[in-house]
């Protein structure tokens, strides 16, 4: 598992961690039952505060993607089916579409881009 953060990004670091772990779980790069690095280990690897990683792990646990155990770290849940925030998904999709349309991409190019990325994520 490879997580990178951009401390200068407008997105808070804990949300960057959540986003990258969610993507890795969705793409099955991290499979059900796989352990995640301990909070201390990941915080050290990323050079961030322990609480930043702990907050990210708690949010993922609340979503039902991971389970955490004091002293034993976190693990992807075998039956991980996160809650689906349709309004949030629509907002994110509209933001993405607006950006790519403003960049001058055609509808066909957008559909191909999305299909290619989805295929890559499903194939791991």
pLDDT tens for residues 27-79? Answer: 888 889 999 999 999 999 999 999 999 999 999 999 889 998 877 779 998 66
Q: Which domain holds residue 51?
A: 13-76
pLDDT digits (tens, 9 = 90+) for 4-33: 999 899 999 999 999 999 988 888 888 899
Q: 26 with 57, same domain? A: yes
Q: What is the DSSP letter of 28?
A: T
φ/ψ bin of 119: left (φ > 0), alpha (ψ from -120 to 50), beta (otherwise): alpha
Residue 75 bridge partners (DSSP): 35, 67
CATH number at residue 59: 1.10.10.10
Q: 68 with 29, same domain? A: yes
Q: Decide: pTM greater than 0.75.
A: no
CA neighbours within 13 Å on the CB side: how many for 50? Answer: 4
Residue 63 bridge partners (DSSP): none
Q: 25 with 72, same domain? A: yes
For 2-101, list the strands marked E by DSSP.
Answer: 66-69, 73-76
Residue 3 lies in a domain: no
Domain count, the chain: 2
């Amino acid at each position: 598992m490879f997580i990178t953060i951009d401390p200068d990004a407008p997105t808070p670091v804990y949300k960057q961690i959540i986003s990258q772990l969610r993507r890795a779980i969705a793409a099955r790069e991290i499979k059900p039952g796989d352990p995640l690095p301990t909070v201390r280990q990941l915080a050290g690897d990323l050079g961030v505060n322990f609480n930043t990683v702990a907050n990210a792990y708690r949010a993922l646990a609340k979503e039902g993607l991971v389970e955490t155990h004091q002293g034993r770290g976190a693990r992807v849940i075998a039956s991980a089916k996160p809650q689906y925030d349709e309004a949030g998904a629509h907002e994110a999709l509209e933001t993405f579409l607006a950006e790519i349309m403003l960049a001058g991409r055609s509808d066909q190019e957008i559909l191909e881009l999305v299909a290619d990325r989805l295929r890559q994520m499903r194939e791991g």
